[in-house]
Amino acid sequence: MVGIKAEPFAFPVKHDELALIVIDMQRDFAEPGGFGASLGNDVSRITRIVPDVKRLIQGFRNAGLPVIHTMECHRPDLSDLPPAKRDRGNPSLRIGDEGPMGRILISGEPGTAIIPELAPVKGEIVIEKPGKGAFYATELGAVLQQKGISQLVFAGVTTEVCVQTTMREANDRGYECLLAEEATESYFPEFKAAAVAMIRAQGAIVGWTAHVDDILESIANA
């Protein structure tokens, strides 16, 4: 079995059971005027990772491996949005409010869309998720089972919230998880660093972490 150079040790990759999950690379989190900016965040931190995420996506496409995208969003009637989520904090715009790119984090609105540089191509699965984790109240588990996937590479945002939550959900379901370090980011650099450390602590208790170039080299040579 070939391994991908990773921390805390080589990731024992099974190329025929590998998929990429790109978490929430949406306009509302990455562009000025979106939900991320309304919370007072520097969204330029998110746009910086776009080239590496794009390289990773293209590498998986070239290798004929599945690419799955997620989008955090809610139904227009907000029936899947708990008050505890909508009312938390003190943002200038709340989920469901009208913003510069349509209603914030509502399915089908312009701001909810994945940024154009990373847009899904025909045949790629897009999971709309109402929570932080991509397994909660979605079809993701069934999709992975149908495709025979046992290993997941993760990219996207934010590292400590939706990415880490989904990795932990996947870990509990028996998937081996690998985080692409340059292809994930947080609005807070110290949060990313802490999340990366937590994920690979205790002998990969949640998963492994690796550099994009090492992942791409492995799948290109499979």
pLDDT at site 149: 98
- The residues annotated as belonging to the active site are 24, 129, 162
**φ and ψ of 153, to 5 deg:** -100, 135
Contact of 120 with 114, CB cutoff 8 Å: yes
Quote the DSSP letter at residue 17. G
The residue assigned the tokens 């070939």 is: 2
Sheet holding 176-185, edge to edge: 125-129, 67-72, 18-23, 151-157, 176-185, 208-210
Which pLDDT score, from 0 to 100, does residue 38 have? 83
**At 140, is the secondary structure helix, strand, or coil?**
helix
CA-based Rg of the chain, rounded to a whole angstrom? 17
CA distance 182 to 51: 9
15-221 CATH choice from 1.10.3720.10, 3.40.1520.20, 3.40.190.10, 3.40.50.850: 3.40.50.850
Between the two ends of the chain, the Cα-to-Cα distance in Å is: 11
**Secondary structure percentages of the chain, helix, strand, coil, to 5:** 40, 25, 40
pLDDT for 102: 95
Instruction: Indicate yes or no: pTM above 0.95.
Output: yes
| Separation of alpha carbons 85 and 185, rounded Å | 22
pLDDT in tens, the chain (222 residues): 579 999 999 999 999 999 999 999 999 999 988 889 888 999 999 999 999 999 999 999 999 999 999 999 999 999 999 999 998 877 788 999 999 999 999 999 999 999 999 999 999 999 999 999 999 999 999 999 999 999 999 999 999 999 999 999 999 999 999 999 999 999 999 999 999 999 999 999 999 999 999 999 999 988
DSSP 99: E
